[in-house]
Amino acid sequence: MRWLDWSEDAFAEARARGVPVLLFVRAAWCRFSKELARQVFADPRVVKLVQERFVALQVDKDRRPDLDARYSKGGWPTLAWLDDTGELLAADTYLEADELVARLQLVSDYYAKHRDLIRLRIRELEERRKEEEGAGGPRSPSLSPEIVDHVARVVLENADPQWGGWGREHKFPNTEALDFALIRWSQTGDQAMLQLVRRTLRCMQEGEIHDKVEGGFYRYATQPDWSGPNHEKMLDSNAQRLHVYLEAHQVFGDESYRATAEGILRWMHATLLDPERRVFRGSQDANPAYARLATLEQRTQAGAPPCDPTIFANWNAIAVSSLLKASMVLREPKYREQALATLDFVVEEMFDARRGVHHYWDGIDHLPGLLSDQAYVLRALVDALQYTGESRYFAPAKKLAEWTIENLQSPTGGFYDTPHDPGAYGGLRRRNRSILENAVMAEALLRLASLSREDDFADTARATLESFASDYKRYGHFVAGYARAVDLLFHEPVHVTIVGPRASELVRALAEAALRPYVASRIVQVLDPVQDKELFERSGLPGPRSLFEPARAYVQRGRGSLAETADPNRLPSLMTRVERG
């Protein structure tokens, strides 16, 4: 089968031949994508029809999330039928050979007879879309705490009361919702939220979705009790689950949660880590027979499934944030060292000051400027500022935030998922606004505003969140991350500023005391009056009192100063009192 990459040349060929385009969106780790490629597309009837009547394109959904967002039919593999300008005509999921033969004949025959009608209809839709965008919609309602309350109710109502999580067919843990539930419990004392988190995490770690031999989690389960998993393992979903198990260990003190988190870390480092570059590969392929082997010895003899070696910026950034948290919660400096090595690679090798963060690296950089990469890398930089106390992360964080605002911000608020490309065709002519990725960016901007004392970042975050205030309800419990960001506006974080020489043992002790306990909304910052002179002066805080007390922690919320101490043992209780006050 002759497959082409997504390119103008491919569509030029379709126009020259007068044929439609078949776009095969696959996932490198997906067993069904591989079966479709290996079996169905090897059928001689399929090969003949595709080569004679179509231009065939193939893309990896993780390498091209922009195309995946516009063309996939709710999962992978997707077979998208396009006209010669890239407009979507129809889409299918997995088809057997006989079904695909029939579909190929139907689409090519209809396209040959009705091509002009199809183009007219597409032009009409495009004109209508432009008119709607030009007219603008009704003004979005103002942000309010009711958004947070509404999402909290939906999260509880939609949850599985027996096994936890959400969904009755494909069962995903939805870590954003679990994180949001812990925040709600911390602020309101809502025991239902606490029990939801406990039930979900307990059932997940006891279910088949959890790999109890090598650690880590499979991507999702097909049964409500977390059984029948699809056996691929992904970097991003494991890093997200690592974060929530670490938080749960902080909250509950449950050693099983700690053990589960440590298992994820072992698997990530043993299987996905590229030791030369100190970054993480994207995923490990599904192999049900391997996953059913009950001992490590049996698995070693069988040989592990291969990994996709692609380095994704957003997924590695998610891993960085979780590793930084692991270093503090588990008291293991090696995880911090790994996190910073990974972050340095992403910033130094994948961030271009003119084009933004590139999406993936396979020896060279590809696909710069996607919102997902900008948002998660900015969040990782903000986390590094807090967990290390090192000011060197300020410059790339501010540069990345400013690039995103300049190149991706929508005139109506929020951020587009891709930069403007006047030469784009097909679905890429329309830029989308993802509520999840906008929420991640808004929260990162809010935290950056607090750390830098620059209100412009907070103003941009507020406008971003406000632009979704009219339609967030249609996403159900999937907008827990959006509600968390909105909550950050109305429930300002506890801001702990530690003033003193960065190399001081007392500064380090105060920073660890501030970072180690669970606090729902917290910002921790180290300001050295000498090294951070400008930012220290902007903070308005006093310097060290004496040589005998070289550092002091100041606890603030919003514009109010609430407590101060030089005693690391007192600091956690002061923070908790402020958080629940």
- Closest residue by Cα to residue 463 from 484, 480, 481, 446: 446
Q: Rounded distance, CA 137 to CA 131, Å?
A: 11
Tell me the residue type at 393.
Y
| Structure tokens given for 251 | 């909250």
CATH fold, domain 8-135, is: Glutaredoxin (3.40.30)
DSSP letter at 419 equals: -
307 pairs with which residues across the strands? 284
Contacting residues for 10 by C-beta, under 8 A, at least 6 apart: 4, 21, 55, 57
Positions in the chain whose pLDDT score sits under 70: 119, 121-141, 547, 578-581
pLDDT in tens, 93-152: 999 999 999 999 999 998 988 877 776 766 666 666 556 555 544 455 689 999 999 999
- Contact 529/499 with Cβ under 8 angstroms? yes
Give exposure, 230-253, as e/b (b: 16+ Cβ within 10 Å): bbbbbbbbbbbbbbbbbbbbbbbe
Cis? peptide before 288, omega within 30° of 0: no
Instruction: Give the phi and the psi of residue 274 in degrees, each rounded to 5.
Output: -90, 105
Beta bridge partners of 555: 496, 563
Alpha carbon 198 to its chain centroid, in Å, reads 23
Q: Which of 470, 484, 375 has its CA nearest to residue 152?
A: 484
Of 91, 101, 80, whose CA–CA distance to 24 is shortest? Answer: 80
Count of helices and strands (H, E) across the chain: 22, 19
Query: Residue holding tokens 């009950």?
Result: 294
* 230 vs 208: CA distance, rounded Å: 10
| pLDDT of amino acid 136 | 47
pLDDT in tens, 528-547: 999 999 999 988 999 877 76
Buried b (16+ CB within 10 A) or exposed e, 279-292: bbbbbbbbbeebbe
CB 360 within 8 A of CB 349: no
Per-residue confidence (pLDDT) for residue 113, from 0 to 100: 86
CA distance 378 to 69: 22
Long-range contacts of 148-152 (CB under 8 A, 24+ apart): 148/184, 148/483, 148/486, 148/487, 148/490, 150/473, 150/483, 151/180, 151/472, 151/477, 151/479, 151/480, 151/482, 151/483, 152/180, 152/184, 152/190, 152/193, 152/483
What is 173-178+187-309's CATH number, 1.50.10.20, 3.40.220.10, 1.20.120.1770, 1.10.443.10?
A: 1.50.10.20
Answer yes or no: are the C-beta atoms of 429 and 90 closer than 8 Å. no
What confidence score (pLDDT) does residue 138 get? Answer: 46
Q: Measured between alpha carbons, how far is 63 from 28 in angstroms, rounded to an integer? A: 9
Instruction: Determine the Cα–Cα distance for residues 485 and 492; give it in Å rounded to an integer.
Output: 11
Q: How many CB atoms lie within 10 A of CB 269?
A: 16
Domain spans of the chain, in order of start? 8-135, 173-178+187-309, 496-579
Q: Give CA–CA dist 537/12, Å, rounded.
A: 59
Predicted confidence at residue 119, as pLDDT, reads 67
User: How many residues can be counted in the chain?
Assistant: 581
Distance CA(165)–CA(478), nearest Å, equals 12
